[in-house]
Structure 1
């Protein structure tokens, strides 16, 4: 890791957490759209 670059790219864990959260939110909104 370079000291000059704080966060050039997301780490694998961060991207996985973001995808999991996005999937949860998408499922919730999609479910609500199907109900109404």
Structure 2
């Protein structure tokens, strides 16, 4: 795996993690956290 692919994969993982975090925060605060 070259450096560009590694960076892209990392960004996608971070983005997915952020989406999950915002979704769970949203449910805890009444669903407005999207």
> Which segments of 5 or more consecutive residues in structure 1 lack a partner in the other structure?
1-9
Q: How many residues align?
A: 27
Flag as ranges the 4+ runs of structure 1 deviating above 6 A.
Answer: none
Larger proportion of helix: 2
Instruction: Give me the TM-score of the superposition, normalised by structure 2.
Output: 0.72
Q: Which has the higher contact order (CA 8 A, sep 6+)?
A: 2
Which of the pair has more CA radius of gyration? Answer: 1
Structure 2: which 5+ residue stretches go unaligned? 28-34
CA root-mean-square deviation:
0.5
